[in-house]
Structure 1
Amino acid sequence: MEPATLRRTMGRFTTGVAVVTTVSGDGPHGMTVNSLTSVSLDPPLILVSLTTGARTTQAVADSGGFAVSILSCRQEPIAMRFARRGEDHFAGLPLEYGQHRVPVVPDALAHVECRTEHEIPAGDHVLFLGRVVATCDREGEPLAFHGGRFLDVVGHGHDVPPWFF
């Protein structure tokens, strides 16, 4: 399977956009992700997939915890900022903690703070299963990602499309 083929195919699945953050001995780290899922309500667990070898991945492994900020539709610049490799993503940004022990993105739709339960190598990524220790959320419209680009999620009233093409 060619990586580009799988990327294109999986790009047909619309996802939300989030930023995973943590603090390790050398300061704050963060990374934009669209691979985030709720795993369990009891106990409360989520899963994030981070790129092997990335500074944020190592920082999450070292710190034993992380936060996820689920971005709003007006936060595309933040998503792009934290998606750039090799940069200090927090340069010029004041650290915002809210009610959390890990920095979070201000004005995000939700923050989920986790303690790492399991770390699982998976190909060119590392899966982090996090036990949720704190959350907060607000109303708003989410930022979405589909086919390699950002989208707004718009509710609409229309007939249900047929199941078959």
Structure 2
Amino acid sequence: MNMQTIDPKLFRSVMGAFPTGVAIVATEWQGDLFGATINSLTSVSLQPCMLLFCTNEGSATGAAIRQRGLFSVNILGHHQSDLSARFTGKLKNRFDDLAIAFSTDGLPLLQGAAAQLCCRVAAVHKAGDHDIILGEVLSGEEATCNPLVFHKGAYGRFQCN
């Protein structure tokens, strides 16, 4: 049987039809703050509570999370599309001039987020050009704002009734 693989550009476009939430994963490592925008966040288990997300292989934030072994997940609110863009790309001082609180473990928590979770790294798996990071959820809280949504390369919002 001759199996073909999909063109990566077509795959990206097709997957763009699936709307996702937007989050920023973050950690502190050796006095520096690291953070990256993700949309590959999913719950995995309730016993124990676990989630997973993906980072580019070689990502500085992914490396810092693996080394620290702890990370925060900041699920962005509809009013935070500017933060999503800020935590994508090569900007070095992503946290400058932002309202940040810190968890009891020193993890950065972005103020105004729709929800926040603090996690411990449970496992890391290589998958193509990304790393899948599994995290055991240690704590979490939610706010009363609507989430930021990403679909077909654009930001939008989901309105709760």
Look up the match of 1:115: 120
Task: Tell me by how many angstroms 1:63 deviates.
Answer: 0.6
Task: Tell me by how many angstroms 1:25 deviates.
Answer: 1.5
Task: Tell me by how many angstroms 1:70 deviates.
Answer: 0.4
> Is it true that 1:74 corresponds to 2:79 in the alignment?
yes
Query: C-alpha offsets along residues 45-82 of structure 1, whole Å, 9 cap, x if unaligned?
Result: 00011111111011111111111000000001111111
Which amino acid in the other structure matches residue 28 of structure 2?
Answer: V
Distance 2:86 2:100 in 1: 15
> Is it true that 1:57 corresponds to 2:62 in the alignment?
yes
Change (3 A) 1:155 1:133: closer
Which amino acid in the other structure matches residue 25 of structure 1?
Answer: Q
Q: Report the 3-state secondary structure (helix = DSSP H, G, I; strand = E; otherwise coil) of the residue aligned with 1:104.
A: strand
Residues matched between the structures, number: 156
Look up the match of 2:138: 133
Which amino acid in the other structure matches residue 57 of structure 2?
Answer: T
**2:55–2:131 contact (8 Å) kept in structure 1:** yes
Look up the match of 1:11: 16
Which amino acid in the other structure matches residue 89 of structure 1?
Answer: R
Q: TM-score, normalised by structure 2?
A: 0.91
> Gaps (5+ residues) in structure 1?
157-165
> Gaps (5+ residues) in structure 2?
1-5
Q: Report the 3-state secondary structure (helix = DSSP H, G, I; strand = E; otherwise coil) of the residue aligned with 2:87.
A: helix
> Is it true that 1:151 corresponds to 2:150 in the alignment?
no
Distance 2:82 2:104 in 1: 24
Look up the match of 1:47: 52
Moved over 4 A (4+): none
Task: Tell me by how many angstroms 1:23 deviates.
Answer: 0.9
Root-mean-square deviation over aligned CA pairs = 1.5
Distance 2:160 2:141 in 1: 23
Q: Report the 3-state secondary structure (helix = DSSP H, G, I; strand = E; otherwise coil) of the residue aligned with 2:66.
A: helix
Percent of aligned pairs with the same residue? 34
Query: C-alpha offsets along residues 94-123 of structure 1, whole Å, 9 cap, x if unaligned?
Result: 542155630011110111100000011111
**1:17–1:144 contact (8 Å) kept in structure 2:** yes
